[in-house]
């Protein structure tokens, strides 16, 4: 197992593999000086060799990995019963297996309460009339004793369960966890089909809402998973997360623990302008930024305009850009808020950083980061 830091050149063997696999190009900067991750962290398995790309928060690869995993678990609301699984000293451990295990456990618990069924319309050629008689279909059925009918059937073979079965069959390639197979057995009456993740048409209501968490988790895993060509019995793949998304979700959930009125990713339309700040409260708007900022002058005009537009449209005068401290050198020396606009349009913008460095267990880490965030906001 090798630990690689984000924004650093990676070993030549892995670099060559990335160059040869176009599926990975969107996650890496490839140039004459080498191959570097584009703020993506996660897991890559190539020909039995495992690589962890982790944020460079400390000088310890194991500690960086633990912090990264803690952020994933908390940010994506993953509750594991056995937290020993997240110990990075276990070389058999792979991040994707954590998520697959939690997905299987969560889905199986819901199946125990009852499998989701709904009425679906079917057309079949039957011996006796059932439901609606299909006149047009039966024109060519004159000398046949069967009757084309359309009827509704209360069935588990619906789009949601087909998605679950599709996901389970993919996850089985990367994990042999027993509850995956138990979930598959429950869906024995469901057709296995290929699902286009970009054309999903699944809606949740009071009847099937208890499956929404399992659905979101499965969809997230499928979207982060990058399967690649296999070599013999080995399965090559990557499981990569955009650290901007991870940081946003992690900070957002902790912020809500501190301030229950905080709303995450609140989308509102102001005319043709669509705005969705990361964190919205009655008195402040916070946007997370996973990028380097070493001095006030490096703050982009685009980020200033973004916060000004948020503040003026949501009628909130105080805004904040929050960065991870390990990407920042001098930001904590900026004491006074920046002034955007003037008069009635004055918006105050604070630049703050959050220190993610902590060596301890999961619960201790979350509590400490919560304390640090409270001091900032």
Token output for 361: 């267990």
Euclidean distance between CA atoms 354 and 251, whole angstroms: 9
Side-chain-facing half-sphere of 333: CA atoms under 13 Å: 8
Q: In what order do the strands lie in the sheet with 2-5?
A: 2-5, 49-54, 40-46, 237-242, 225-227
pLDDT of residue 91: 44
Token output for 149: 């009918």
Beta-carbon contacts of residue 179 (< 8 Å; ≥ 6 apart) = 101, 104, 105, 108
Low-confidence ranges of the chain (pLDDT < 70): 1, 81-93, 122, 124-145, 151, 229-234, 329-333
DSSP H or E stretch at residue 138: helix 135-138
Phi, psi of 119 (to 5 degrees): -75, 130
pLDDT of residue 104: 96
DSSP state of 86: G
Q: How many CB atoms lie within 10 A of CB 264?
A: 16
Asked whether the beta carbons of 40 and 241 are under 8 A apart, the reply is: yes
Phi, psi of 344 (to 5 degrees): -65, -20
Provide the sign of the torsion angle of the four alpha carbons 190, 191, 196, 202, taken in this order: negative
DSSP H or E stretch at residue 279: strand 279-280
What percent of the chain is helix, strand and coil (3-state, nearest 5)?
40, 25, 35
Asked whether the beta carbons of 220 and 76 are under 8 A apart, the reply is: yes
pLDDT of residue 3: 72
pLDDT per residue over 235-245, tens digit each?
A: 789 999 999 99
pLDDT of residue 223: 95
What predicted TM-score, i.e. pTM, was given to this entire model? Answer: 0.85
Euclidean distance between CA atoms 347 and 318, whole angstroms: 6
pLDDT per residue over 147-169, tens digit each?
A: 777 767 778 889 999 999 999 99
Euclidean distance between CA atoms 276 and 268, whole angstroms: 7
pLDDT of residue 2: 74
Euclidean distance between CA atoms 86 and 82, whole angstroms: 8
């Amino acid at each position: 197992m090798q630990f690689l830091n984000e924004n650093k050149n990676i070993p030549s063997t892995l670099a060559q593999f990335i160059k040869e696999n176009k599926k990975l190009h969107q996650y890496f900067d490839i140039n004459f000086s080498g191959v570097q991750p584009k703020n993506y962290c996660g897991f890559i398995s190539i020909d039995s060799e495992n690589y962890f790309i982790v944020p460079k928060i400390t000088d310890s690869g194991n500690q960086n990995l633990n912090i990264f995993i803690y952020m994933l678990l908390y940010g994506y609301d993953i509750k594991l019963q056995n937290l020993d699984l997240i110990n990075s000293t276990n070389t058999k451990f792979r991040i994707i297996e954590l998520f697959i295990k939690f997905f299987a456990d969560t889905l199986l618990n819901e199946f125990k309460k009852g499998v989701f069924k709904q009425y679906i319309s079917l057309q079949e050629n039957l011996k006796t009339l059932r439901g609606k008689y299909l006149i047009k279909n039966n024109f060519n059925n004159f000398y046949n004793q069967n009757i084309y009918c359309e009827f509704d059937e209360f069935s588990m073979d619906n789009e949601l369960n087909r998605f679950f079965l599709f996901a389970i069959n993919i996850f089985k390639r990367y994990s042999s966890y027993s509850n995956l197979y138990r979930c598959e057995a429950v869906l024995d009456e469901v057709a296995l089909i290929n699902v286009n993740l970009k054309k999903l048409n699944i809606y949740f209501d009071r009847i099937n809402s208890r499956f929404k968490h399992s659905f979101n988790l499965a969809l997230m895993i499928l979207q982060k998973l990058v399967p690649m060509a296999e070599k013999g019995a080995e399965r090559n793949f990557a499981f990569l997360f955009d650290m901007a998304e991870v940081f946003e979700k992690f900070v957002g959930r902790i912020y809500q623990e501190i301030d229950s009125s905080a709303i995450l990713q609140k989308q509102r339309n102001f005319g043709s302008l669509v705005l969705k700040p990361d964190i919205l409260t009655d008195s402040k708007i916070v946007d997370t930024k996973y990028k380097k900022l070493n001095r006030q002058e490096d703050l982009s005009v685009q980020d200033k305009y973004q916060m000004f537009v948020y503040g003026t449209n949501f009628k909130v005068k105080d805004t904040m850009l929050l960065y991870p401290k390990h990407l920042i050198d001098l930001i904590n020396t900026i004491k006074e808020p920046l002034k955007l606009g003037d008069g009635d349009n004055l918006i105050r913008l604070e630049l703050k950083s959050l220190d993610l460095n902590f060596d301890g267990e999961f619960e201790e880490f979350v509590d400490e980061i919560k304390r640090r965030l409270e001091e900032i906001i």
